[in-house]
Structure 1
Amino acid sequence: MNFSERFAIINSGLAILGRFSRSQPRFFLIMIGGAWGVLYEMLHPSAWRRTVLIEFRRNLRQLVGSGFFSVVVVAFITGLGLVSQAVYWLGFAGMSQMTGSLLSSVLLREIAPILVGVILLGRSGMLMLTEMGNLTTGGRLKTLSGMGIDPFLAFVVPRTIATTVSGITLGTLFSVIALAMGYVACWMKGIVTVSIWSFIFEVINSMQLVDYVGIPLKFLLSGASVGLCCCLSGMDVTSEDNLTTFLPRGFSRGIMSILVINVLVDIVLGSF
Structure 2
Amino acid sequence: MTGNFSDTIQRSVNGFFQRYLPNAGFTKFLLGLSDYYWFGRQVFISATHLRGKHLDTFVRVVANQVRFTGAQALPMLSIIALSIGATTIIQAITFLPKLGQDNFIGNLLRLVIVREVGPLLTAIIVLARSGSAITAEMCTQKMHREIDSMEMMGINPHLIMVLPRLFGGVISVVLLIIYFDVIAIMGGYLISLMFTSFPFVTFVDHLARSITMTDLMATLIKAIVSGMVIPLTCTYYGFKPESLFQIPIYVSKAVIRSLFVVFLLNAFLSVLFYL
TM > 0.5 between the two? yes
| Partner amino acid, structure 2, of 1:164 | V
| Partner amino acid, structure 2, of 1:165 | I
Taking a change above 3 Å as real, the CA distance of residues 97 and 42 of structure 1, as seen in their structure-2 partners, is farther
1:22 is matched with: 27
Give percent identity, aligned residues only. Answer: 21
Task: Judge which range, 20-29 or 72-81, deviates more.
Answer: 20-29
Q: Can you give the 5+ residue segments of structure 1 that lack an aligned partner in the other structure?
A: 1-13
2:9 is matched with: none
* 1:126–1:251 contact (8 Å) kept in structure 2: yes
Shift of 1:53: 1.6
Match of 1:252 among 238, 253, 256: 256
Shift of 1:158: 0.4
Match of 2:132 among 110, 126, 132: 126
Match of 1:105 among 100, 111, 120: 111
Q: Deviations over 1:47-68 (max 9, x none)?
A: 8521112111111111122211
Match of 2:267 among 250, 253, 263: 263
2:220 is matched with: 216
For 1:131 and 1:69, locate their aligned partners in 2 and report how far apart those are by CA, in whole Å: 23
Q: How does 1:56-205 map to 2 (within 5 A)?
A: 56-195=62-201, 198-205=202-209
Q: Deviations over 1:166-189 (max 9, x none)?
A: 001111111000001221133332
* 1:78–1:178 contact (8 Å) kept in structure 2: yes
For 2:271 and 2:48, locate their aligned partners in 1 and report how far apart those are by CA, in whole Å: 28
Taking a change above 3 Å as real, the CA distance of residues 189 and 131 of structure 1, as seen in their structure-2 partners, is same
1:55 is matched with: 61
Q: Deviations over 1:93-118 (max 9, x none)?
A: 22121111111112111111110001
Task: Judge which range, 79-88 or 66-75, deviates more.
Answer: 79-88
SS, match of residue 162 in structure 1: helix
For 2:170 and 2:93, locate their aligned partners in 1 and report how far apart those are by CA, in whole Å: 32
| Partner amino acid, structure 2, of 1:149 | I
Number of aligned residue pairs: give it. 256
Taking a change above 3 Å as real, the CA distance of residues 247 and 182 of structure 1, as seen in their structure-2 partners, is same
For 2:22 and 2:92, locate their aligned partners in 1 and report how far apart those are by CA, in whole Å: 49
* 2:82–2:183 contact (8 Å) kept in structure 1: yes
For 1:80 and 1:256, locate their aligned partners in 2 and report how far apart those are by CA, in whole Å: 28
For 1:204 and 1:44, locate their aligned partners in 2 and report how far apart those are by CA, in whole Å: 44
Shift of 1:230: 0.9
Shift of 1:38: 4.6
Taking a change above 3 Å as real, the CA distance of residues 157 and 201 of structure 1, as seen in their structure-2 partners, is farther
SS, match of residue 70 in structure 2: helix
Q: Deviations over 1:172-225 (max 9, x none)?
A: 111000001221133332341233xx4234223212332121011112211221
* 1:84–1:186 contact (8 Å) kept in structure 2: yes
Shift of 1:82: 2.2
Shift of 1:226: 1.2
For 2:21 and 2:140, locate their aligned partners in 1 and report how far apart those are by CA, in whole Å: 30
Shift of 1:44: 6.6
